Amino acid sequence: MGKARVLITGADGFIGSHLTEAMVRQGYTVRALALYNSFGTRGHLDSLPQDVLSEVEILSGDIRDPGSARAAVKGCDIIQHLAALIAIPYSYVAPDSYVDTNIRGSLNLLMAARELGVSRFVQTSTSEVYGTAQYVPIDEAHPLNAQSPYAATKIGADQLAISFQRSFDMPVAVIRPFNTFGPRQSTRAVLPTIITQIAAGQNAIRLGNLSATRDFCYVRDTVDGFIAVAESDAAIGEVTNIGSGFEISIGDAANLIAQLMGRTIAIDVDDRRLRPTGSEVERLWAATDKAQRITSWRPAYAGRDGFARGMQETIAWFSNSKNLERYDPTRYQL
């Protein structure tokens, strides 16, 4: 597949902004869809280098509106669909909004993509759809088990996308990233929560479940996975995991971060940061054999050493005072 015109939904978000930058630098013509707001801000797109921004067509819109979704899709060859509500704790508070955005919004884009004849539709899934691992490493045949309203809506969106491939022969591929981390990430995620508290000088940091394990994938690897899936004909009709192939507990990750930052910390468990008992996903660890078999993708930040390298780059970004001042490490963010 040659370099084509790509629509990136959720381009204003953490992964979306990194994907926007990477695809521009690889020669794609990029249209970036950012959620409309009355402040005129464009999320993390506003942080991109000017030489990248000058090459991006930025649209403000809302995938929950069918007309907005169709206007965004029109004229594009590839859809990288990342727009979603992703905060798990807030999905307990406002589950209806997750249905509207994650399911209805995805349907609007799929309908537009089918009508306009796109050449590839990449649906973004999440490792949360697997729930607590029933076996490890988790491959794509692992049963789906929604343990939060967020996960349930992502399963619904994934199944819609797959159904369009099977029903209408649409060129749909589903990418399932595990826990991505890196520069620009929100403190809704645990690793930035740890880094920002330590960087702000706190010796006792507040976290939730310390024993749960995650497969943390550095954002460059995740972004490379998105591009590889979009470029692989073998990925059509398939679900493809993207991860590091390495699991680490939240407690061990916190101690490793403190070590990399040259600090000694104590950890206080904050009950507000704990999920309801039946909703906690205790273990996630990706099998990535399929991704490496059907695409050109390989994790550059694999294993414990790769995690540490990615973490060093992430710490360096957050430790920059201009970046750190965007965050309030004293506040728990849903």
**What one-letter code names the amino acid at 155?**
I
Domain 5-180+217-242, CATH: 3.40.50.720
Averages of pLDDT over runs of 10 residues in the chain (334 residues) are 86 98 98 95 96 97 98 98 97 98 98 98 98 98 98 98 98 98 96 96 94 98 98 98 97 97 96 94 98 97 97 97 93 81
Which whole-number Å values give the CA distances from 269 to 186, 209, 243, 266, in the listed order?
20, 7, 27, 10
Rounded to whole angstroms, how far apart are CA atoms 76 and 121? Answer: 10
CA dihedral angle for residue 35, residue 3, residue 119, residue 17, rounded to 10 degrees: -20
Domain 183-214+247-280+302-324, CATH: 3.90.25.10
- Predicted local distance difference test score (pLDDT) of residue 312: 98
Rounded to whole angstroms, how far apart are CA atoms 307 and 256? Answer: 10
Domain boundaries, the chain: 5-180+217-242, 183-214+247-280+302-324
- Predicted local distance difference test score (pLDDT) of residue 2: 52
- Predicted local distance difference test score (pLDDT) of residue 279: 97
